[in-house]
Structure 1
Amino acid sequence: MMDGVTCQSLRLGVVESPPVGLANRSAGGGNNYGVTHGKHPFGRAIDIQNLNSPLTLQADSADRNVATKPACTRTHWTRTGSSPISRDDVSPTSSRACRNRHMTDLASKPIGRPVSFDRTSAIKAATDLYWQSGVAATSFNEVSRALGVSKPTLYRYFGDEDGLVSAVIENYVSQRALHPELLSMTGDIRTDLNAWFDKQIDDLYQRHKDATMPTGCLLMECVQLGKALGEKSTAAVHQAVHEILEMFETRIRAAHEAGQLRDGIDINAAVRLIAGQTIVAKNVVLIGEPKENLKRMVALAIDGIAA
Structure 2
Amino acid sequence: MTAGRKRTFDKDEALVKAMHVFWENGYSGTSLSDLTAALGINKPSMYAAFGNKEELFAAALEYYLIHYRGPLITKLTDPPDAPLAQRLQAFLLGVVDVVNCPDSPKGCFYTKTCYESDSAAVPEEITTSLHMIERETVQNLVALLKTEQANGQLSADADLKTLARYLMTIMTGLSVQAKNGASKAELKSVVEWVAKAAL
For the aligned pair, the TM-score class normalised by the smaller chain equals: 0.7 to 0.9
Aligned partner of 1:257 in structure 2 is 150
Aligned partner of 2:60 in structure 1 is 168
Are positions 1:123 and 2:15 aligned together? yes
CA distance in 1, matches of 2:32, 2:170: 32
Aligned residue-pair number: 186
Are the equivalent residues in 2 in contact too, given 1:123–1:167 (CA < 8 A)? yes
CA distance in 1, matches of 2:147, 2:26: 37
Q: Label 1:148 to 1:192 Cα distance change in 2 as closer, same or farther (>3 A).
A: closer
Q: Label 1:238 to 1:145 Cα distance change in 2 as closer, same or farther (>3 A).
A: same
RMSD: 3.0
Aligned partner of 1:226 in structure 2 is 117
Q: Between Structure 1 and Structure 2, which shows a larger proportion of strand residues? A: 1
SS of residue in 2 equivalent to 1:178: helix
CA distance in 2, matches of 1:157, 1:202: 31
Post-superposition offset of 1:220: 0.6
SS of residue in 1 equivalent to 2:14: helix
Aligned partner of 1:268 in structure 2 is 161
Are the equivalent residues in 2 in contact too, given 1:249–1:271 (CA < 8 A)? yes
Q: Which amino acid aligns with 1:189?
A: L
Alignment of 1:271-282 (within 5 A): 271-282=164-175
Superposition TM-score, scaled by structure 2 size: 0.74
Question: Relative contact order: is structure 1 or structure 2 higher (C-alpha 8 Å, sep ≥ 6)?
Answer: 2
Per-residue CA deviation, residues 204-250 of structure 1 (Å, 9 max, x unaligned), is: 44x2xx3x432211111122222443255345534544553344222
Q: Which of 123, 131, 134 in structure 1 is aligned with 2:26?
A: 134
CA distance in 2, matches of 1:148, 1:294: 40
Aligned partner of 2:182 in structure 1 is 288
Post-superposition offset of 1:300: 5.5
Are the equivalent residues in 2 in contact too, given 1:197–1:295 (CA < 8 A)? yes
Q: Which amino acid aligns with 2:92?
A: F
Flag structure 2 segments of 5+ consecutive residues without an equivalent: 1-5
SS of residue in 2 equivalent to 1:288: coil
Aligned partner of 2:74 in structure 1 is 180
Q: Over alpha carbons, which structure has the higher Rg?
A: 1
Q: Which amino acid aligns with 2:18?
A: A
Superposition TM-score, scaled by structure 1 size: 0.51
Post-superposition offset of 1:124: 1.4
Are the equivalent residues in 1 in contact too, given 2:78–2:87 (CA < 8 A)? yes
Q: Label 1:195 to 1:299 Cα distance change in 2 as closer, same or farther (>3 A).
A: same
Q: Between Structure 1 and Structure 2, which shows a larger proportion of helix residues? A: 2
Flag structure 1 segments of 5+ consecutive residues without an equivalent: 1-113
Q: Label 1:188 to 1:293 Cα distance change in 2 as closer, same or farther (>3 A).
A: closer
Post-superposition offset of 1:179: 4.8
Q: Label 1:297 to 1:266 Cα distance change in 2 as closer, same or farther (>3 A).
A: same
- Runs of 4+ in structure 1 deviating by more than 4 angstroms, as ranges, are 114-117, 202-205
Aligned partner of 1:299 in structure 2 is 195
CA distance in 2, matches of 1:288, 1:280: 11
Q: Which amino acid aligns with 2:191?
A: K
Aligned partner of 2:3 in structure 1 is none
Are the equivalent residues in 2 in contact too, given 1:245–1:272 (CA < 8 A)? yes
Alignment of 1:26-45 (within 5 A): none
Per-residue CA deviation, residues 139-164 of structure 1 (Å, 9 max, x unaligned), is: 12221233232223222333321101
CA distance in 2, matches of 1:141, 1:191: 45
Q: Which of 71, 76, 84 in structure 2 is aligned with 1:189?
A: 84
